[in-house]
Amino acid sequence: MGSKDAEEFRDALRDISAHMVKLDCPFDRVRCAEWCRKLASLPDDNLESSKIKNEYAQFLRIQVRNKCLHGPYEHPPPENALCPLSECLGNLICKEVPFLPKMGPISPVLHHKSPDGRAYVSVKQVPGGGVLCYMAVSPDGLEL
């Protein structure tokens, strides 16, 4: 995990722990702590896994600040690896709306971060043909 990603994750966990005590339900506080432990235990050796960690942490941070846990945080974290947050939320919506098809894995065809951390490129196949390309470049001295 890049230093900026690691710092962002630590800041999110600090913020969650500061606001977690304000949750009304003691079960929510325990579940929040379980999610924090799960997220902290996930490996961060590549861009995709660190992205998943940060997405879940930031989403939990928003919910804890609003004193209401919902979505994936209504239940304890899964024992196995976490799927990307977008896939998880898509599956939760599909459970609520039964005629929608279940979401499958959502993963880019290609993703690359430059060694200095200032450029990122992601390419994803679009259903029905074509590709979606995303590129981000940071000014000198700032890491993505």
Report the SS3 class of residue 25. Answer: coil
Q: Going by C-beta distance under 8 Å and a sequence separation of 6 or more, which residues neighbour residue 5?
A: 44, 50, 51, 54
Specify the pTM. Answer: 0.69
Q: Tell me the per-residue pLDDT of 74-131, one tens digit each, with 9 for 90 and over.
A: 999 999 888 888 888 888 887 887 776 666 665 556 667 777 777 878 877 777 777 7
Query: Is residue 1 very low, low, confident or very high in pLDDT (cuts 50, 70, 90)?
Result: low
Q: Tell me the per-residue pLDDT of 20-54, one tens digit each, with 9 for 90 and over.
A: 999 999 999 999 999 999 999 988 888 788 888 99
Sign of torsion over alpha carbons 47, 48, 53, 55: positive
Q: Tell me the per-residue pLDDT of 14-27, one tens digit each, with 9 for 90 and over.
A: 999 999 999 999 99
Gap between the Cα atoms of 137 and 41, Å rounded: 30
Reply yes or no on whether the pLDDT at 144 is more than 50: no
Other CB atoms within 10 A of residue 60 CB = 23
Gap between the Cα atoms of 73 and 56, Å rounded: 9
